[in-house]
Amino acid sequence: MNGIVYKSTGSWYTIKTEQGTFYECRLKGKFRIKGIKSTNPVAVGDHVVFELDLKGEDGIGVISRIEERRNYIIRKSVNLSKQTQIIAANIDIAFLLVTLNNPPTFTTFIDRFLVTAEAYGIKAVLLFNKIDTYSPEELGEIKFLANLYRSIGYECVGISAKNGKNIDTVKVMMKDKVSVFSGHSGVGKSTLVNSIEPSLNLKTKEISDQHLQGQHTTTFAEMYDLSFNAKIIDTPGIKGFGMVEMDKEELGDYYPEFFKLKKHCKFNNCMHIEEPKCAVKDALENEEVAWSRYKSYLQILEGEDEHYRKDVYTKE
């Protein structure tokens, strides 16, 4: 039988068949010994082949094959540094919810998400949530950020999950697609999903006043069918996005504005750091490339836990 994974708890998987029937399945043991470095060999969104358990248990199946993934979003495992965690697979569009504060979303985090989406061929859209709560000065900051990312080519939408502002715009983007919502805990993912499809009634929690961080309400990814012919994968809140499975030499290609300039660099393998006649650094000096983007590029090159190189090409 063929189906799509709708829910994963790490040991059991809820699979929906083409006929619309749901089955609870587990993995065949061989998946555990194939040297898969991911903490979850099967992810929500995966297309799988499974057989019903011959022992006669009602609705219980065994996954025998995972079909090749079109794409996926991956991060380093929180507890196991040498392993990775696939957040979701076979995605058409990835929405990143961004909040200026309550909790804050920094540009480095945004850039890590966008680089990941670029690397795996997933369309990314930035949703600037809670715009009903910002002062005029804060709205100015949001507009600045949105204009920065629009100039690169990313779609940006200001929304309020709480009062419904521009939710219809988001729904149009989602129609006939598998979407994933990501962002820090507390940015309003569950509230947004409830606004899009109230019948789901996902749990939400208030922001922690002490640390301005959201409390985790989603503990595992789950896919939902929506009433307007769309699917959504709700993901756990994530505090960081570790870059994995990516060569440093390729990183600049996942910054669209860097990639466009690359052909004008003196060296075709230019890393845009210390090389002479670098088109990216020239554009940086001419304010044609955002310093925040360049700094996040350097920070990713140096590794997740290191700050960008303060001794090379930084601007006070």
CATH number of the domain residue 114 falls in: 3.40.50.300
C-alpha to C-alpha distance for 62 and 43, rounded to whole angstroms: 15
Q: Do residues 61 and 85 both lie within one domain?
A: no
Do strands 60-66 and 72-76 pair parallel, antiparallel, or not at all (unpaired)?
unpaired
Q: Are 50 and 3 in contact (CB under 8 A)?
A: yes
91 CB burial (10 A radius; 0-12, 13-18, 19+): buried
The residue among 41, 54, 138 whose CA lies nearest residue 98 is 138
pTM of the entire predicted model: 0.81
DSSP conformational letter for 69: P
Query: From first to last of its 316 residues, what are the pLDDT tens digits of the chain?
Result: 999 999 988 788 999 999 999 999 988 776 654 555 666 788 999 999 999 876 655 668 999 999 999 988 776 665 555 667 787 899 999 999 999 988 899 999 999 989 988 988 899 999 999 999 999 999 999 999 999 999 999 999 999 999 999 999 999 999 999 998 888 888 888 889 889 998 887 665 443 343 444 444 445 778 999 999 999 987 765 544 555 667 889 999 999 999 999 999 999 999 999 999 999 999 999 999 999 999 999 998 887 543 433 444 444 3
Q: Do residues 123 and 257 both lie within one domain?
A: no
Q: Which residues of 287-307 are buried (b: 16+ CB within 10 A; e: fewer)?
A: eebbeebbbbbbbbbeeeeee
**Has residue 311 been placed in a domain?**
no
Q: Do residues 108 and 227 both lie within one domain?
A: yes
**Has residue 308 been placed in a domain?**
no
Q: Which domain holds residue 46?
A: 2-66
Q: Do residues 146 and 191 both lie within one domain?
A: yes
Residue 52's identity, in one-letter code, is L
**Has residue 289 been placed in a domain?**
yes
Number of compact structural domains in the chain:
3
Q: Which residues contact 83 (CB under 8 A, 6 or more apart)?
A: 37, 38, 39, 76, 77
**Has residue 280 been placed in a domain?**
yes
Q: Do residues 16 and 161 both lie within one domain?
A: no
Structural Rg of the chain based on CA atoms: 21
Give the end of a domain, one of 211, 234, 257: 234
